[in-house]
Chain A
Amino acid sequence: MGYQTLDVALSFKNNLTPLKSSILITDTLSAQGNFLVHHFIVNQIKADKHVILVGLAQIFNHYLNIGRKLGVNLTVASQKGQFSFIDGLTSLTINSSTSFPTSMITPLSITNCTKETLLNFYSVIKKIITTHHASTNSNVLLIFDDLSVLVYSGFKVCDVLEFWGACRVLIEKYDGTLISLIHADEVSGLSSTDNIDFDDEIFVKSLIYKSEYLLSVRGLESGFSRDVSGEITIARGPKNFEKWFRPTALHYKILDNNVQFFAKGFSQGIF
């Protein structure tokens, strides 16, 4: 039970994310996809591989506490140089002089949402990868927890997409994997004068088009249920022709330190 069921459904080799690929996690307000991010971090750390986590919506402590429940210690991992955290929540808006000790790197300031800021951000990520990996086949995992933050904060969608594309190229060069979490709620728009919705749609659709594996998390269509937290669809991206990969849809229920996955209609609470 638990996360193993997801690993079986994903059928990734050695339970590690496929190399040279991008995994896109889309979620909604009623069903949040964070539990997938934590799972991929834990798997990667347990396999002694390097993780670079860009926390745009949460601070390091959050990942540390959940990691502890799931059986990995991220403090130890980061001391060993296995885990790098880029604090994008507190350091985004605070002047570099007053940075917090937990934040290791202060990559960008949100006050000027220009392309240069994202370029700096990219060079920070590149620096971490190049210093950690002299060889090119190092299997690094780069995670953006909530890439939507950048678009919502006012960066231009095309700039963010370009930034994401650059990271993707970098990851392919070093035989790694890129995981991005974005929000994809289905909401009705305001009037046509507002282009927020248009931005959102372009952003989500472009990333879907450019990713190999799509994990889409959403609440149940029938409404809330006590025994089922939501539904996850594991789907193939447009450019993915891997024969071993089987797209599936599962229901899941989040517990304190685990997540149960089961085939639709096979929740334990039903029987």
Chain B
Amino acid sequence: MNNSSSFSSFKKNIRTSKTLPAARLSPYNGQLLLSTGVPSLDDILTFQCGGLPIGTILLIKEDKHTGYSKLLLKYFLSQGIASGHHVLFSSTEEDPSNFIKGLPWITNDDSNDLDDKAEADDKMKIAWRYKEMKKFESGIKTTPTIFKNKQIPITGSQRQEQPFCYTFDLTKSIPQQSIDSASITLVDATKWADEQHDESMYDKLLSEIRRVIDQNHFSSSATPSTGVEKNALRIGIHSIASPLWNSNSPHDLYRFFHALRGLLRNSSGLSVITIPAHLYTSNLEPCSFIRRIEHISDAVVELESFAGSSATVNNVYSASYHGLFHVHKLPTINSLISPSVKLSILSGGGGNNLGFKLRRKKFSIETFHLPPEGGLTVRKVAKSGVDEGKKDPYDF
């Protein structure tokens, strides 16, 4: 970003926002945001309909034995392909092209929220007065239409309006033609694992990322050549620092993150990286190897699934949630404090506990609380022992 004039910060950002597809300007601090593909995660990171600021790294500490964090990564990449961003993916666990083929895809029907429909029909039978009140919600609605209108009008832009965040359906997989037409760079780190080299795998991955940034002019300092439209780069790395990544010293990983942060800060890219942090600790205490990486990342979240937890989980929790969602660090780039602290609905300034759940078609993060005592099933009064002629024991 250039800072030639001191007062035109607003203008400057408008200019950049015109050049990036499916990006949104934060009204809070003028930061360019891209959606992670999960509306509730966007809300937690900044605010409702917000997202991850460009130039930052989101670190996801993986859940034990389950694959929920991989799902978040999939959403992130699907959102990138749907928005026409350049996508770079790397993994040592599986063939990256297989991973791309397994991405979820945009849902066609808008009425996929069956739960909400059912709730709407559910008229109040008692306490009618409360009907007028705002409905209690623990989640974030996926309504891409609302913020389409709210979006700051960009004058002179010929590009058609793109939704900032698509709604994805986990039961659908990405069509082959979308993969073919998308600009994707796959870095197959599985091949490196067998080779013996002096250079660590992180260095290789970094030079690969650097090459992509240089070739596609993602760097903000590169002179924008006419005819080339600026695009965003999404970098997804799955299970970094797992045993399949070999490195020469424990400092290699930190150096990778430090260099990546520097690269991204000066380019229109952002990255989501998952790390199996639980492999590095014997107990639940944080260890310094992972803590160092957390310090150099811009945002750190952690998924803790009930299925992978050794502690017994109360049935009440596991019935409605699949695990807990922890936020360790929020992106505070170019500002003293993250807008999320003030604006996020879900995290409520960090005061709320968060849980995640996976339904058949979508993954969502919600505020975590106990269901009403006795469960949500309809309570019925036992028929036996009630006098004939009275339908209800409370009837006179």
Interface residue ranges, A against B (CB under 8 Å): 29-30, 32, 34-35, 38, 57-59, 61-62, 64-66, 68-69, 73, 75-76, 89-94, 100-102, 110, 113, 146, 148-149, 152-154, 183, 185, 187-190, 194, 196-197, 200, 224-226, 229, 254-257, 259
In the bound complex, what is the Cα–Cα distance between A171 and B336 (angstroms)?
A: 28
Q: Known A29-B295, A187-B288; judge A153-B336 contact (CB<8 A).
A: no
Q: Are A35 and B283 in contact (CB under 8 A)?
A: no
Chain A nearest CB, measured from B135 CB (Å): 23
Name A59's closest neighbour in chain B (CB-CB).
B265
Q: Are B262 and A257 in contact (CB under 8 A)?
A: no
Which residue of A148, A190, A194 contacts B295 across the interface (Cβ within 8 Å)? A148
Q: Are A93 and B336 in contact (CB under 8 A)?
A: no
In the bound complex, what is the Cα–Cα distance between A256 and B340 (angstroms)?
A: 11
Chain B nearest CB, measured from A73 CB (Å): 6
Q: Are B251 and A154 in contact (CB under 8 A)?
A: yes
Q: Are B334 and A90 in contact (CB under 8 A)?
A: no
B371 touches A (CB below 8 Å):
no
Q: Are A190 and B280 in contact (CB under 8 A)?
A: yes
Which residue of A92, A113, A259 contacts B336 across the interface (Cβ within 8 Å)? A259
Q: Are B336 and A187 in contact (CB under 8 A)?
A: no
Q: Are A190 and B251 in contact (CB under 8 A)?
A: no
Q: Are A110 and B258 in contact (CB under 8 A)?
A: yes
> Which residues does chain A contribute within 8 Å of B219, judged by CB atoms?
100
Q: Are A65 and B334 in contact (CB under 8 A)?
A: yes
B1 touches A (CB below 8 Å):
yes
> Which residues does chain A contribute within 8 Å of B261, judged by CB atoms?
57, 89
Q: Known A29-B329, A90-B266; judge A224-B351 contact (CB<8 A).
A: yes
Query: Would you give the 0/1 interface string for B269-291, flagging 1 where the beta carbon is closer than 8 Å to chain A?
Result: 00000000000111101111101
> Which residues does chain B contribute within 8 Å of A64, judged by CB atoms?
3
Q: Are A57 and B296 in contact (CB under 8 A)?
A: yes
Within 8 A of A (CB), among B175-200: none
Q: Are A69 and B336 in contact (CB under 8 A)?
A: yes
Chain B nearest CB, measured from A94 CB (Å): 7
In the bound complex, what is the Cα–Cα distance between A142 and B301 (angstroms)?
A: 33
Which residue of A58, A187, A254 contacts B286 across the interface (Cβ within 8 Å)? A187
B368 touches A (CB below 8 Å):
no
Q: Are A93 and B258 in contact (CB under 8 A)?
A: yes
B292 touches A (CB below 8 Å):
yes
Q: List 7 A-B contacts (CB under 8 A).
A: A89-B261, A90-B263, A93-B259, A102-B221, A146-B295, A154-B254, A226-B349
Q: Known A73-B6, A76-B6, A149-B258; judge A196-B289 contact (CB<8 A).
A: yes
Name B4's closest neighbour in chain A (CB-CB).
A75
> Which residues does chain B contribute within 8 Å of A256, judged by CB atoms?
335-337
> Which residues does chain B contribute within 8 Å of A91, judged by CB atoms?
262
Q: Are B266 and A154 in contact (CB under 8 A)?
A: no
B333 touches A (CB below 8 Å):
yes
Within 8 A of A (CB), among B1-33: 1, 3, 6, 9, 29
In the bound complex, what is the Cα–Cα distance between A61 and B265 (angstroms)?
A: 9
Query: Would you give the 0/1 interface string for B248-269, flagging 1 where the beta carbon is closer than 8 Å to chain A?
Result: 0111001100110111011000
Chain B nearest CB, measured from A78 CB (Å): 11
Q: Are A66 and B335 in contact (CB under 8 A)?
A: yes
Q: Are A152 and B296 in contact (CB under 8 A)?
A: yes
> Which residues does chain A contribute within 8 Å of B266, judged by CB atoms?
59, 90, 100, 102
Query: Would you give the 0/1 interface string for B239-251, flagging 1 where the beta carbon is closer than 8 Å to chain A?
Result: 0000000000111
In the bound complex, what is the Cα–Cα distance between A149 and B286 (angstroms)?
A: 19
Q: Are A183 and B287 in contact (CB under 8 A)?
A: no
Q: Are A29 and B259 in contact (CB under 8 A)?
A: no
> Which residues does chain A contribute within 8 Å of B292, judged by CB atoms?
148, 152, 183, 196
Which residue of B221, B255, B285, B333 contacts A62 across the interface (Cβ within 8 Å)? B333
In the bound complex, what is the Cα–Cα distance between A29 and B296 (angstroms)?
A: 10
Q: Are B283 and A188 in contact (CB under 8 A)?
A: yes
Interface-centre pick from B249, B258, B300 (highest chain A CB count, 10 A): B258
In the bound complex, what is the Cα–Cα distance between A59 and B336 (angstroms)?
A: 14
B369 touches A (CB below 8 Å):
no
Chain B nearest CB, measured from A227 CB (Å): 9
B350 touches A (CB below 8 Å):
yes
B67 touches A (CB below 8 Å):
no
Q: Are A197 and B288 in contact (CB under 8 A)?
A: yes
Q: Are B6 and A225 in contact (CB under 8 A)?
A: no
Q: Are B288 and A200 in contact (CB under 8 A)?
A: yes
In the bound complex, what is the Cα–Cα distance between A75 and B254 (angstroms)?
A: 31
In the bound complex, what is the Cα–Cα distance between A254 and B342 (angstroms)?
A: 11
Q: Are B285 and A188 in contact (CB under 8 A)?
A: yes
Chain A nearest CB, measured from B363 CB (Å): 25
> Which residues does chain B contribute within 8 Å of A110, judged by CB atoms?
255, 258-259
> Which residues does chain A contribute within 8 Å of B334, judged by CB atoms?
61-62, 65-66
In the bound complex, what is the Cα–Cα distance between A5 and B356 (angstroms)?
A: 41
> Which residues does chain B contribute within 8 Å of A154, judged by CB atoms?
249, 251, 254-255
Q: Besides the contacts A29-B300, A92-B258, A110-B259, what 8 more A-B pairs have beta carbons closer than 8 Å?
A: A65-B334, A90-B262, A93-B255, A100-B219, A110-B258, A190-B281, A196-B288, A196-B289
B348 touches A (CB below 8 Å):
yes
Chain B nearest CB, measured from A83 CB (Å): 13
In the bound complex, what is the Cα–Cα distance between A164 and B3 (angstroms)?
A: 32
In the bound complex, what is the Cα–Cα distance between A198 and B236 (angstroms)?
A: 33
In the bound complex, what is the Cα–Cα distance between A185 and B29 (angstroms)?
A: 29
Chain B nearest CB, measured from A266 CB (Å): 19
Query: Would you give the 0/1 interface string for B126-163, flagging 1 where the beta carbon is closer than 8 Å to chain A?
Result: 00000000000000000000000000000000000000
Q: Known A188-B283, A189-B287; judge A90-B265 contact (CB<8 A).
A: yes
Q: Known A154-B251, A256-B337; judge A183-B3 contact (CB<8 A).
A: no
In the bound complex, what is the Cα–Cα distance between A154 and B221 (angstroms)?
A: 29
Which residue of A38, A89, A194 contacts B262 across the interface (Cβ within 8 Å)? A89
B366 touches A (CB below 8 Å):
no
In the bound complex, what is the Cα–Cα distance between A256 and B336 (angstroms)?
A: 6
